[in-house]
Amino acid sequence: MVFYKKNKNSTFLQELESVLDISGAQNYVPLYSRFFVLNATNWNSINLENDYELATIQQGDYNTATGTLLNNTTIPIFLKYSPLLDPLKYLNGKYSSYDFTLPSLSPSFPKLAEVNNSAYTDSFFSYLSSQLLTKENFIHGIGFHGSYLGIKRKFKYNIEDEIEQLHNSTFFYENNNTLFTLNKELNNGSSSQRNRQKLVLEDESIPLIFDDLDCSFESKNESKNENTECIECPECTHCIEIKDISENIVASGEESEDKEYDADSKSSDSSSQSSNTETEYTDELESSEEDFDTYGLTAEINQFPVQIIALEKCKDTLDSLLVECISPEEITSALMQVIMTLIMYQKRFQFTHNDLHTNNIMYVDTDEEYVYYTHNSVNYKVPTFGRIYKIIDFGRAIYTFEGKRFVSDSFHTDGDAATQYNMEPFLDASKPVLEPNYSFDLCRLACSMLDIIPDDTPVYELVEEWCLDDKKRNVLYKKNGEERYPDFKLYKMIARTVHAHTPEAQLAKPIFKAYVTKKAHPRAIQI
């Protein structure tokens, strides 16, 4: 059961504003109305009951701080500024009003008042996870130290993947250096491409000349013994044989089968696809794409409504470890810990993460040599290699608590994950119901791992299997090596066509059965 406590913390909120460079800091979060009766007296004095809440805070840098908890413990804190609005829509000028008053009991901007706002559901699941950590010693839970709403000054948003879309926005160029600033200069001023002279390409065939390319293409039967390279990183001892990509991908069905699920995808995908008959391009845009480095391109928005979520500071991501070429045994340990975390969350909260990849799995250091679990009367002893893994970033999560279902508004018809599922409270009654898929998370995770782990190991075979749909087709690649489902279509197709990779089912696989031990450990985590 969730409890609240009434706070007289105006001094702390003022400190928060000063240290974090925010304004209007408040306790009230609309999601609380699903549990508590709020009125004009108590609406902005309620926080979730938390013995590990911040009492004071001292800034370190943009996302980190040193905090003192109510129990007088001083610890490093990670500060997540979860946007209450869609920053990309903001930069594109898609909002009808830019007067964003923080929510209260009075009517406010609809997305800010939405109880399923992705920031609110993200923060609340972080709280639920922390309760498992602090009350049940579930070491994979994430430490949660409070959350507040406020207007963040100089809110940073990475746009390196969105610059092509923003390049077409007059609003974006007109308001650069007014509503926001960029950390890099765009090419040759800030005029919109709409005002640039277009280069019209004739509809005639253009010969492609490959003579000057450094690479060569051979048949897959030629020079097999010469195509072995070692990944160049200091600690890596794994060599990966470079083969025809189709040899590393389980044979897929006919391409026509891919179209089986396309009917409801076309409208939502069309905005991100260019027409095959389009023949007009701007010469300046081509120059921009070739010469302008978008890596790390960030928009710093002058004022933006956010939820400030104070979390445990982890050391780094699973992705960083894979880049460093950790051993297959270390990867297997990480996956076992992730599987046990997902089983626990599914058991307690009917949970799906819906965006699980290697940057959404972090770790903290531990001196414990092993972590012990008991699940369905089976005992497991898993080497830690000095790391305990934790899942983070619940902005697209769907879960249930106390009989109430929480569905991120990412799945709203206007959200960035619209059409992945079709369910209440964002149901399109004209289409079949599509509920959350317990196999989604491991498949999505595998898609982020397949190309960066050694391909001659049992753990690679496992990850490759997780990438298979119900017809044994690889969801990432076709037989010819082409991408099967580009961009967000991958998410939609995993949700519809992958059902054999639930976390609990993985415990029957030999790679994880190797962790089974006869004796129960007195400190085993009960899953």
Look at phi and psi of residue 416 and say left if phi exceeds 0, alpha if psi is from -120 to 50, else beta. Answer: alpha
Identify the weakest region by mean pLDDT among 46-55, 58-67, 97-106: 97-106
> Is 488 found in the same domain as 359?
yes
Q: What percent of the chain has pLDDT over 90?
A: 71
Q: In this model, does residue 436 exceed pLDDT 50? A: yes
Q: In this model, does residue 377 exceed pLDDT 90? A: yes
Confidence band for 508, pLDDT divided at 50, 70 and 90: very high
Q: In this model, does residue 89 exceed pLDDT 60? A: yes
More confident residue, 281 or 515: 515
3-state secondary structure of 52: coil
Q: What is the mean pLDDT of residues 375-385?
A: 98
Q: In this model, does residue 277 exceed pLDDT 80? A: no
| CATH classification of the domain holding 425 | 1.10.510
Q: In this model, does residue 110 exceed pLDDT 50? A: yes
Domain of residue 126: give its range.
1-153+305-313
> Is 323 found in the same domain as 459?
yes
Residue 142 located in a structural domain = yes
Residue 166 located in a structural domain = no
For the ranges 140-154, 230-244, 275-289, the maximum mean pLDDT occurs at 140-154
> Is 338 found in the same domain as 309?
no
> Is 414 found in the same domain as 396?
yes
Residue 379 located in a structural domain = yes
> Is 64 found in the same domain as 50?
yes
Q: In this model, does residue 256 exceed pLDDT 90? A: no
> Is 309 found in the same domain as 324?
no
Last residue in a domain, options 313, 344, 373: 313
Q: How far is CA 490 from the centre of its chain?
A: 14
> Is 244 found in the same domain as 379?
yes
Q: Look up the pTM and report it.
A: 0.81
What's the pLDDT score for residue 38? Answer: 92
> Is 499 found in the same domain as 439?
yes
3-state secondary structure of 230: strand
User: Using one digit for the tens of pLDDT, what is the confidence trace for 390-402?
Assistant: 999 999 999 999 9
Confidence band for 269, pLDDT divided at 50, 70 and 90: very low
Q: In this model, does residue 427 exceed pLDDT 50? A: yes
> Is 239 found in the same domain as 149?
no
Residue 423 located in a structural domain = yes
User: Among the residues of 82-184, which ranges form H helices?
Assistant: 87-92, 110-113, 118-136, 163-166, 170-175
Q: What is the mean pLDDT of residues 305-318?
A: 98
CB atoms within 10 A of CB 336: 22
Residue 496 located in a structural domain = yes
> Is 362 found in the same domain as 404?
yes
Identify the weakest region by mean pLDDT among 250-264, 313-327, 444-458: 250-264
Identify the weakest region by mean pLDDT among 18-32, 87-101, 105-119, 500-514: 87-101
Which residues have C-beta within 8 Å of that of residue 264, sequence separation ≥ 6? 419, 431
**Token pair for residue 385?**
């290699």
Identify the weakest region by mean pLDDT among 52-56, 215-219, 461-465, 497-501: 215-219
Domain count, the chain: 2
Instruction: Report the C-alpha gap between 7 and 140 in whole angstroms.
Output: 29
More confident residue, 127 or 203: 127
What's the pLDDT score for residue 445? Answer: 99
Identify the weakest region by mean pLDDT among 133-137, 175-179, 198-202, 501-505: 198-202
Look at phi and psi of residue 189 and say left if phi exceeds 0, alpha if psi is from -120 to 50, else beta. Answer: left
Residue 279 located in a structural domain = no
Q: In this model, does residue 207 exceed pLDDT 90? A: no
> Is 371 found in the same domain as 321?
yes
Residue 58 located in a structural domain = yes
Residue 338 located in a structural domain = yes
> Is 309 found in the same domain as 367?
no
Average pLDDT, the chain: 84
Q: In this model, does residue 423 exceed pLDDT 50? A: yes
